[in-house]
Amino acid sequence: MSKTNSEHVMTYSKVGGNYQLLIKTFADLQAVLELDEAFWALNCVEINSLRMDRRFLAFVDGNNDGKIRTDEIRSAVRFYLDHVLDGKGFENESETLELASINPEKGAALLESAKLILKNLNKPDAASLTLAELRNDKAIRSRSYNNGDGVVTSDAEQPAEINARIDLIMKTAGTADDISGVKGVNAAILDKFALESAAFLAWDDKITQDDGTLLCFGENTAAVYEKFLGVKEDIDNYFLNSETLEFFSVEPERVAKKELSADVRAPQEVKAMLEKSVLALPRTDCTLDLNDKLNPLLRARIEAFFALKEGAALLNDGKLSAAAWNDFKKIIAPYDGWCKAKPAFAAAYTAVDKEMLKGAGTDEIMTTLKMACTNDLNAGTALAGIDMLHKLMLYQRYLKELLNNFVSLAQLFDLEANSPLQTGKLIMDGRHFTLAVPVKDMAEHKRIVADSNICVLYIELSSTAAAVVPPWKTLAVAVTSGNMRNLFIGKRGLFFTVEGEVFDAKVTAFVEQPVSISEALRNPFYRFASFVGDQISKFFNTKSATAQKEMGGKLSSGKLPPAPAAAAPGSGSMLLMGGGIGIAALGSSVAFITKQLQNVSVWDILSVILGIILIFGGPVVIVSLVKLYCRDLSRFLEATGCAVNRKMRMNRKMGKIFTFLPIMPDGKKIRLRVASRPSQGSWKYTLTGLLVTLIIIAACAGVWYMRGVERNRRTCISAATAEKSVKQSAKPCTKAAGTPAPAAKAPAAKAPAAAAKAPAAALQKK
């Protein structure tokens, strides 16, 4: 096992409130083995929730239960450390394995397999092997001498006599399928050829060395024998029937089964009847008269045989006797026995040159081919290490990525990389949502993720192409920043997988939770606006219903309001009159509002509005802020099948990693004016806007004026009160109690009152 430096320092990163080990170098692998599982980010993860090479995950999942646990991670790390010396490929996550990095002691078999693969790829001197080359199984096994199946094929690099012998064996003894996809021969076919070729030659030599016994009719023996086989059974049956007739002394028709019948209008029935019938009616003299009636189905073959000179020699006045027929069978019997002894495989060997077969089963070429098959099988032992070599190369490529998403979750928060826990990104509402995971059971997922305080929307993937099937049906997407104002069930967007595939996405469900602090602070205003809108809508709906009810009552009682006088067409004075009345009404309304608000300060109004907002939204804001602080990423991951060790709090900065607005690209900003269609009566909208503006200005001016008048009135009253108090304090001391005041001074007492009225009169005049 490769040992790390005893002075190696482990690097930890604080993620979600927990310190997690970072795996960056080859030396960090030993730290993984030394780190207690309690400090790992995950203890278990389902394979289906990881977006990684499936063969790599199968290698790591040692018990094939569909889950990866900490003990299986440790086994994978040990395997890699045992079989490599140099970890540069691990650090670079390289798909190229340097042969020099393989441990020559524990990795000797892997090294042999790698060299054999390179030899089969016509790269015997190469010092490295790529993952793509290793997975090109067809190219690796295309060389029949080194692919491990024991099959040897024709090859341009072989001697011509070897290729010729392989072709001969394939034509006679059969073929075997090579892994490379071509036909060849193996050891079993070579043994079969040796036995069959020897047996065929031994059988064929009998006819070659014949002294005339087998070839009883010379060169015509084969032709005579062929015709003989066509009539032998029928003639034998005829003579047997004739001997039976003579032995039992019965009628010929009975022996010939004359009772058979058929419908002459049905050719198939007639043919079937004739096939069951005899060659001819039997005769007591045991002779076959060719001039007599013969079975129509057999006549042609009988005539063809006796047309031969060897067959015609058997006839006497057109008749064939039983003795002559038996003598003929004795003559051709040796040839018949030789033909019946012909091997079943002889047809294939008959088609080739017999000279090529002589000695072919035991010569040096056959020995060379057998050795080639044996060597090819021995190469299979080395090629059996391909799986282990494949495992080593996949660990070099993907083990670092897995560790940084299992021992720690560093890659999940890396803006430059895509974590295997993420399936892709959702584009919706002008934002990117990158934390999307597959969901098998939505109800179960909702139950678990509800405690995470993370807002989750569930999307359903689909494709417009019938042949393209999304890899997942339902995904859970975390909404971690921004707001939820424009997200609703039924909203559509696009989902991009990491591999670049694009699918339609549709929101099907929500787990509603606070998304951001700004949204939490705006919620009270949204709720207050909604409340005010509802109350206004209820008020006007009530008034409208009352008015409609009153109008309905008048219509039902027949008391209709008088119709207004018709105005003269195009009369401008009526328009001005109507406008004047409207302005007057608006003015009175403004005066009424001003009068009602003159004793109410702006701060009072703002205090009331703020109080209402706090009543509506205060608790909501507090609850939202608490939930935002307690957002738990570990619960979200656990809902997907991960066993997370510790709670991972998602802060505001982490939330912007998974949900964000893309940055506008740099470039010239061109402001375009949107064209609009010309509309009729646009002056009406302009006039309405001016009137509304004037009303607002008048209302503001009225409020300002009335407040000024009120201030002046209060100032004058204060001044008068002050003056009165000053004059009263300046009077001389009065007499003792009970002494009446002089009558002459009574008018003078009215002076302060008159003086007090002066400011009020001046104010009224003003």
SS3 of 673-695: the string is CCCCCCCCCHHHHHHHHHHHHHH
Q: What is the pLDDT of residue 262?
A: 60
Q: What is the pLDDT of residue 677?
A: 63
Interatomic CA distance for residues 151 and 438, integer angstroms: 47
Average pLDDT, integer, range 239-256:
70
Domain encompassing residue 123: 12-140+385-411
pTM of the model: 0.57
427 and 507 inside one domain? yes
Q: With respect to residue 728, please indicate whether it lies within any of the assigned structural domains.
A: no
302 and 400 inside one domain? no
Could you tell me where the DSSP H helices lie in 12-69?
28-34, 54-60
Average pLDDT, integer, range 479-486:
86
128 and 277 inside one domain? no
pLDDT band at 193 (very low <50, low <70, confident <90, very high): very high
* Tokens linked to 174: 């059969």
461 and 501 inside one domain? yes
Mean pLDDT lowest among 152-156, 360-364, 452-456, 593-597: 593-597
Of 638 and 541, which is predicted with more confidence? Answer: 638
134 and 26 inside one domain? yes
391 and 347 inside one domain? no
Interatomic CA distance for residues 723 and 754, integer angstroms: 12
Q: What is the pLDDT of residue 560?
A: 52
What amino acid occupies position 147?
N
Residue 354 has pLDDT above 90, yes or no: no
487 and 402 inside one domain? no
- Closest C-alpha among 461, 493, 462, 459 to residue 477: 459
20 and 120 inside one domain? yes
Of 673 and 239, which is predicted with more confidence? Answer: 239
* Tokens linked to 394: 């996949």
Which residue reads 């790529």 in tokens? 130
Interatomic CA distance for residues 569 and 566, integer angstroms: 9
Average pLDDT, integer, range 299-314:
89
Residue 549 has pLDDT above 60, yes or no: yes
Average pLDDT, integer, range 594-602:
57
pLDDT band at 196 (very low <50, low <70, confident <90, very high): very high
Interatomic CA distance for residues 314 and 706, integer angstroms: 154
Please report, rounded to a whole number, the percentage of residues in the chain having pLDDT higher than 70.
Answer: 74
Of 104 and 378, which is predicted with more confidence? Answer: 104
231 and 328 inside one domain? yes
111 and 259 inside one domain? no
Q: What is the pLDDT of residue 45?
A: 93
Q: With respect to residue 612, please indicate whether it lies within any of the assigned structural domains.
A: no
What is the average pLDDT score of the chain? 79
Residue range 205-234, pLDDT digits in tens = 888 888 888 888 888 888 999 999 989 988
Mean pLDDT lowest among 8-12, 166-170, 412-416, 519-523: 519-523
Q: With respect to residue 507, please indicate whether it lies within any of the assigned structural domains.
A: yes
pLDDT band at 483 (very low <50, low <70, confident <90, very high): confident
Q: With respect to residue 563, please indicate whether it lies within any of the assigned structural domains.
A: no
Interatomic CA distance for residues 309 and 221, integer angstroms: 12
Return the C-alpha torsion angle 325, 331, 332, 333, nearest 10: 100
Q: What is the pLDDT of residue 574?
A: 47
Residue range 610-654, pLDDT digits in tens = 676 666 566 767 777 888 788 888 889 888 889 998 888 888 888
Of 72 and 763, which is predicted with more confidence? Answer: 72
Q: Are residues 302 and 234 in contact, defined by beta-carbon separation less than 8 angstroms?
A: yes
Q: What is the pLDDT of residue 396?
A: 95
* Tokens linked to 420: 């295997």
Q: With respect to residue 451, please indicate whether it lies within any of the assigned structural domains.
A: yes
Q: What is the pLDDT of residue 395?
A: 95
250 and 399 inside one domain? no
Q: With respect to residue 506, please indicate whether it lies within any of the assigned structural domains.
A: yes
48 and 134 inside one domain? yes
Q: With respect to residue 727, please indicate whether it lies within any of the assigned structural domains.
A: no
Average pLDDT, integer, range 727-751:
50
Of 702 and 422, which is predicted with more confidence? Answer: 422
Q: With respect to residue 24, please indicate whether it lies within any of the assigned structural domains.
A: yes
Average pLDDT, integer, range 236-259:
70
Of 648 and 57, which is predicted with more confidence? Answer: 57
Q: What is the DSSP letter of 7?
A: T
Q: Are residues 45 and 676 in contact, defined by beta-carbon separation less than 8 angstroms?
A: no
Mean pLDDT lowest among 75-89, 437-451, 609-623: 609-623
**Half-sphere exposure for 621 (CA within 13 Å, toward CB):** 15
Tally of domains in the chain: 3
